Structure 1
Amino acid sequence: MLFAPAPLAALLRACALVTLAAAAGGVLANEPTASTPAAAASAGGIEVEGFRFDAAAQVAGQNLVLNGAGLSSILSAKSTAVAFYLPAKQTTMEAALAVKGPKRIQYFMVRDVSARDLSNALLDRIRQNNSSEEFTANIVQTSQLGAVFGTRKELRKSDMVTIDWMPATQTTEFRLNGERVGELIKGESFYQMMMKVWIGPRVRASTRNALLGQPG
């Protein structure tokens, strides 16, 4: 009886294992699985300035999809990496504002910013991107916004803010690094004003398009 040389025998055994695994529908040890980095890299999230936005989020018990994410220069310099989460993908400002259900605006600070400067910048953006009638109708709510970060001197790089719309209570909730800050703010029109801070008509096209999943 003839025997294959040792290296050839090892090769034949390896080929046999591959054939058996393929026939059984098995997965080889070095193939990517759901838990390997290869699968995680294609999970659908977006990274902006080193900050990762997951492909989905949950607000008020409802699953939301990542609509888009981008960089915002809200203070005339790179300040926030921001993302929108909506019940379904929307590609226009009007559709994003009108879609029903919970919503989330999430942003990371990409540099240290004083709380006062951030609040003033948000208020300025609201004035620039909404009509005087809309602003006047939400004057109480905008005054509440000014107090959201009132107990902090500054927001630091990597701080995470979420702004959630909860239709069951018709309120907007702010959280800083997972902890609620400020009071709940009533009214859907106020949340729509907050969305326009990043997708309004006077926002840089690159930021608006990124959040709406549009090219460039």
Structure 2
Amino acid sequence: MTAEPAPEDAVPVPRSRSERTAGSRLLILDAAVACLVEDGYAGASTLAVQARAGVSRGRLLHHFPSRAELLVAAAEHLATTQLEEVRRRAAALMDDEPTGRERVDRAIDLMWTTFQEPPFWAAMELWTAARTDPALRAALRGEERRLRAAIAAVADGIWGPEIVGAPLYADLTELLFTSMRGVALVYAFDDRPAATDPHLALWKRLAARMLPLDSQG
């Protein structure tokens, strides 16, 4: 009887055209993310992304005809990946099903950590550049709306249905997001530990006042 070929001797199955296309697109996006996070908007030129990805000019332009489209897609790709990670972290954080003030405090701590991570800084690079770049501004607007809806869905899961159903929940989360965004910008030049920021206690006190925590145990 003929022996089965060892796995290392097996002939690799060629990738389909669609798989190759998706693979090259992902390679370009990962390179753009790295440029944007490490070198900022100014350093994330299409030539820099092309060199980091190791692809031809034609291949890059086939996927992303403009720099604005490329960088917005890169930021969206990074944020989507990060949202999945936040979901996993939230599931572990809330595994013991805390309620009331304990759940709120944990949710705020988790929210705040996301404002020190690469997706936030990538977004800020694009937001700042969009002020004087009409093409980037136009490309960014639609993606930001879609991303905001995705972030809201993840946030709802972190807070839990009881808190999400509170009358002032939407007002609170909007206030927290805008406040955290503003405070986080200080850390662009201040290297103190974000976990000790005095605003954390303020946000938690604010949430305790706006949410009916006593009725949730």
Considering the TM-score relative to the shorter chain, is it more than 0.5? no
TM-score bracket relative to the smaller structure = under 0.3
Higher relative contact order (CA 8 A, sep 6+): 2
Normalised by the length of structure 1, the TM-score is 0.23
